[in-house]
Structure 1
């Protein structure tokens, strides 16, 4: 993967290139960014940049560039000669793109295939190559589902730590540098302390790249030994452009999905996949069942929503949250365009139905429901409980929702 294949993050790409070109690269980096912001994509693109033969000067003697970990040369590289991306065509780049470069190693959460086994990442390398090529912006749930983990908890095990130590103490095969990309170090328990000596005193020309989403869940002993590279969420315009160019979405649909995704490209792809679902009608039916038509209608609606998959249920709750946020924004405008569309019309109805504190309470309940859905909560029980909570929050002003 090249930097040009990574959505947005222009400033971070430039920073990473400068680290290499000016010999300021730390041997242990932490790429920290929320889900869908492109941390894994950046890590793979950067690893390819490091091994690229044109970047490190192996393609021709005249093009020899600076070493990553040596003293900075007295004469800086002319701007016209600075390689700001890997070439994509040299043998090293081709191997890196296929995730088969012998000096780029990957570590990620895995599961035990058989009782008593001590799983390591290479047990799932074929599945990883497919996942990292097709779902670069996927999350750990997507990965575990792709290896049929079902309800098993993924881990980066002590056996994996021992394997990392073994691999990184070997000489590099082709490149001058050995790189380890550890995706989701949050799944590294106390056994991660095995890596501390290696991180503190690595073999020459060894680069660690940790790709994480939640800083608070990373071992502090590892966190303190890394240089932070903070990855910001994508802008709506960047998500919108990516949906149009990469997924063939039309301009209107890409604009709507980007607004809902809030900088999370993985979420945007999920929303686009379910874009034909009529969340608007489903939400109207639910609120009328809660506030007007009674328990029988609620049971019927809950039966319907419980047949949807977990991703569909999460997208529906996210859509409701989006409408409530629209409702809060609509209160700030004295006049609304006549051509406001169904979403703003519904948002105005929600404003007549609920005060801002009520809307905040509903959003809080929807967020908690999404959290429990991710953790395999029983959907019927969850939506029954959620319906009761919404009834008590909103009270009985139900006629507002009827056309």
Structure 2
């Protein structure tokens, strides 16, 4: 793990990084930028390992030298980390105080996002940040000589959370000490000051493909092939999203949306009320998941109506057949309206609306979208 070969896709980018390191031309300040849930953090650490390896060849760490052994277990003193955190207590804190927890989360999930990290730190929905004191510690640590290696690497995860404090780092980002590499790993370029961006060489990390997400879920996270396929379909290249779909047994709840759609078509009022009462017992995240799956299901129905071909429909076989039988009952316009209705339901769910009243009303609205042809389950 944490070799370039372990990273899905990105062949041209990996080749560029290998060429730069082999030619001793890797930039001393760089930014790995990519959407949530892709390989950017994984790639950044693999790059740090290559920079530290005494014998790397063609992008492969030797795994024999002392540096490789230390970096594999995250114990090398010359690879430093900085990241946003939720401060505990009134005294000055730094990311080093939370490093063991952060590393453990990273090892278990190299695709983690800020929500994964902050929810592990606190259950109070507090937002993490990179404080002024943390910035002073970054400058102090980068100014020190390496402990073991000839070079030092500082990996700064989510610099978006620096805010105005990023000005404290401008000088050291522009002129890092000799044999020092600073790698920033970010998701949202708009939230990073231009004065920071201008000092970094940018490496854009593309989203993962559906097949790559599926492969990682099966090979690394040991999910079943069928569950991994469905999660990959819905995640749209976001591994964090794919992993979240396994929470609360969400993937097993896909059939509940289809059952609701059947009830809405027939408008069996008593059965709809039973379904809604059961739906109301779920927590907010499960409700949102079922509604998000509904949007995914509706979008795949549009593909069926546009004759995309079954190979391009991101639904498991049994559900694909159900979607194909439902398609003649809904016009293009009705399916597009269904997506908007479900999106509105997610918005209302976020704001803790009265679930029972809203879903019963919405059931009637969806019923009116059907054109009256009989649906055979």
Q: Same fold (TM over 0.5)?
A: yes
The counterpart of 1:187, out of the listed 161, 165, 185, is 161
Q: Tell me, yes or no, if the aligned pair for 2:17 and 2:47 is still in contact at 8 Å.
A: yes
1:320 CA drift (Å): 1.4
- Is 1:351 the counterpart of 2:327 in the alignment? yes
Q: How far apart, CA to CA, are the structure 1 residues paired with 2:308 and 2:213? A: 30
Corresponding position of 2:111? 137
1:387 CA drift (Å): 6.4
Q: Tell me, yes or no, if the aligned pair for 1:27 and 1:206 is still in contact at 8 Å.
A: yes
1:155 CA drift (Å): 0.8
Moved more, 173-182 or 309-318: 309-318
| 1:20-59 CA-partner distances (Å, limit 9, x unpaired) | 112332222111111221111111111111111213xxxx
1:127 CA drift (Å): 0.8
Q: How far apart, CA to CA, are the structure 2 residues paired with 1:367 and 1:201? A: 48
Corresponding position of 1:110? 85
Q: Tell me, yes or no, if the aligned pair for 1:169 and 1:203 is still in contact at 8 Å.
A: yes
Change (3 A) 1:336 1:152: closer
Corresponding position of 1:43? 44
The two structures have a TM-score, normalised by structure 2, of: 0.85
3-state SS in 2 of match to 1:101: coil
Corresponding position of 2:235? 261
Instruction: Flag structure 2 segments of 5+ consecutive residues without an equivalent.
Output: none
1:257 CA drift (Å): 3.0
Q: How far apart, CA to CA, are the structure 2 residues paired with 1:18 and 1:265? A: 28
Corresponding position of 2:305? 331
Moved more, 163-172 or 202-211: 202-211
- Is 1:395 the counterpart of 2:368 in the alignment? yes
Instruction: Flag structure 1 segments of 5+ consecutive residues without an equivalent.
Output: 56-81
Aligned-pair RMSD on alpha carbons?
3.1
Alignment of 1:377-392 (within 5 A): 377-381=350-354, 385=358, 388=361, 392=365
Q: How many residues are matched?
A: 370
- Is 1:125 the counterpart of 2:99 in the alignment? yes
Alignment of 1:1-400 (within 5 A): 1-55=2-56, 82-114=57-89, 116-272=90-246, 274=249, 277-285=252-260, 288=263, 292-294=267-269, 301-333=275-307, 341-348=317-324, 350-364=326-340, 366-367=342-343, 377-381=350-354, 385=358, 388=361, 392=365, 395=368, 397=370
